[in-house]
Structure 1
Amino acid sequence: MGNPQWSERIRQVLRDLKLTQADLAERLGVSPATVSRWTQGKHEPTAETYIALGNLAQRPDGIYFWERAGMGAAGLSDASLHSIMSSLRVSLRDFKLVASRRTSKQLSDKGNAVAIPLLNVTAFGDRIAPKENVSLSEVEVEDILLAPLSWCPHPEKMISMHVAGDSMYPLIASGSIIFVDTAVTDREVLDQKLTVVAHRDMGFKVARFQRLAGSDLMVSANHKCLPLDVSNASKWKIYGEVLWWVARDVEP
């Protein structure tokens, strides 16, 4: 009996992109042994991994992987971004786009799209971290959002998550969804940029990362919230750079 179709598709990605199993493992943040089990049909990828594979693969394999993750992607390759966005389960009519300087391209432009997993996890914007935190090993993909390829420097490394709390208000309101490039983790590169850090006990924190006098600080937009020292790299891991976010429009 041959390998399942999803295994053969992963093999095709390796051939199309001229990658070794170790190369693919590095791109997706898994072990080479895991990729080996995929190609042998012994262990199927998770939904989040299928999304990342879909972002890497050429059509029609990319659409196949997105559909394996539970995303309805029929007609994706020929549709405009406007049509793509309107097909999302999360209707953009209920959101206003708060764009960073990187996201100047209009939604009506034509181009490729990146499927970004919305993780069932929340970055805290409170002055005090939440008592309970979801471990990354337990995180589930809550939904799948799409964005223009030009907005994503590292498509296979993009994730999105919720924000709760008022420490980033009015820049980022509580209840927003932030989009994070997890490929950007160098502290020098992230100086003065919006960043998500992960504490081994307290979970995810979002703020503006600043390096001052030998200390690394997370500086909130809300002046009532004091800076948080995240210099201890053994406790505070850089999770990625916030590229843009969406927030529900508040009724007056």
Structure 2
Amino acid sequence: MFLLPPFPAGLRERTSPRLKLNVALGNIAGRPDGTYFWERAGIDTSELPDPTLRHTISSIQTTLEDFNLITSKKVSQHLAGKGNAVAIPLMNVTAFGDRVPPHENVRLSQAKVEDVLLAPLSWCPHPENMISMHVAGDSMHPVIPSGSVLFVDTAATDRDQVNGRLVVASHRDLGFKVARLQRLAGSDLLVSANPKYLPIDVSNATRWKIFGEVLWWVTKDVKQES
């Protein structure tokens, strides 16, 4: 349970039954579905807490207990008693790298853990907030090939702090998008590495949210056909 912010200045004076109805519907639906109604009432939801994400990350950490760590004897002896590795869940979520997003987008709250990947603790500023996801499409080619796996710090969401960095942004209808965030005078843009893709305006923080910063990624070698 949380309190909604007050109506924007100028909106209080012209509050209509329709606006009140949208607020009421949003309160009934709760997050994340209620966001649609609150935004129709003119409420900026970008600063509201996101309990869904926190709950999902917490559930993921519990799920990791079901996975076994398989290593060689030498590696096992090296890791014993040392907390220098971070277990990062690979989710069945895809960040799109095409002009047209995939038809089906999995919300993080509905996502499942496909696998678990290990990373050095020194690579993870916020170890408890790390997840990984797939990439499909060529908008970040050749920097990030299609089929790569992104490692995302979901604690890094402040637009000023991730300006100029690779990020995953989430749209309430389109799903996840990977690109470089560029903050210009009066607008925020997602800039692709592939020059054939035009920048995407993500200034509307109620529609586009910064999901996290991409810290690194891994890519399989493409098998050449003879």
Question: Is the CA contact (8 Å cut-off) linking 1:123 and 1:163 kept in structure 2?
Answer: yes
Look up the match of 2:54: 29
1:131 equivalent in alignment to 2:131: no
Per-residue CA deviation, residues 125-155 of structure 1 (Å, 9 max, x unaligned), is: 1122122211222100111000011100100
Per-residue CA deviation, residues 86-143 of structure 1 (Å, 9 max, x unaligned), is: xxxxxxxxxxxxxxxxxxxxxxxx9711000000000001122122211222100111
Take 2:127 and 2:68, find their aligned partners in 1: how far apart are those partners?
17
2:219 match: secondary structure: strand
Look up the match of 1:214: 186
Take 2:160 and 2:167, find their aligned partners in 1: how far apart are those partners?
12
Take 1:124 and 1:30, find their aligned partners in 2: how far apart are those partners?
24
Question: Is the CA contact (8 Å cut-off) linking 1:126 and 1:167 kept in structure 2?
Answer: yes
Residues 155/77 of structure 1: CA separation in 2 closer, same or farther (3 Å cut)? farther
1:170 match: secondary structure: coil
The percent of aligned pairs where both chains have the same amino acid is 63
Q: CA deviation at 1:214?
A: 1.4
Question: Is the CA contact (8 Å cut-off) linking 1:71 and 1:144 kept in structure 2?
Answer: no
| Partner of residue 141 from structure 2, selected from 166, 169, 174 | 169
Take 2:112 and 2:200, find their aligned partners in 1: how far apart are those partners?
28
1:160 equivalent in alignment to 2:132: yes
1:119 equivalent in alignment to 2:94: no
Q: CA deviation at 1:230?
A: 0.7
Take 1:220 and 1:79, find their aligned partners in 2: how far apart are those partners?
43
1:71 equivalent in alignment to 2:68: yes
Take 2:122 and 2:115, find their aligned partners in 1: how far apart are those partners?
21
Normalising by structure 1, report the TM-score: 0.62
1:130 match: secondary structure: coil
Take 2:205 and 2:112, find their aligned partners in 1: how far apart are those partners?
26
Take 1:185 and 1:236, find their aligned partners in 2: how far apart are those partners?
12
Normalising by structure 2, report the TM-score: 0.68
Runs (5+) with no aligned partner, structure 2: 1-50
2:102 match: secondary structure: coil
Q: Return the letter of the residue paired with 1:198.
A: S
Q: Return the letter of the residue paired with 1:160.
A: S
Q: CA deviation at 1:194?
A: 0.2
Q: Return the letter of the residue paired with 1:240.
A: G
Take 1:80 and 1:165, find their aligned partners in 2: how far apart are those partners?
39
Take 1:240 and 1:146, find their aligned partners in 2: how far apart are those partners?
19
Farther off after superposition, 234-243 or 111-120: 111-120
1:224 equivalent in alignment to 2:160: no
Runs (5+) with no aligned partner, structure 1: 1-25, 32-44, 52-65, 82-109
Look up the match of 2:165: 193
Question: Is the CA contact (8 Å cut-off) linking 1:80 and 1:111 kept in structure 2?
Answer: no
Take 2:136 and 2:223, find their aligned partners in 1: how far apart are those partners?
18
Residues 76/238 of structure 1: CA separation in 2 closer, same or farther (3 Å cut)? farther
Take 1:219 and 1:203, find their aligned partners in 2: how far apart are those partners?
17
Take 1:80 and 1:234, find their aligned partners in 2: how far apart are those partners?
47
Look up the match of 2:62: 50
Residues 50/77 of structure 1: CA separation in 2 closer, same or farther (3 Å cut)? farther
Residues 146/206 of structure 1: CA separation in 2 closer, same or farther (3 Å cut)? same
1:156 match: secondary structure: helix
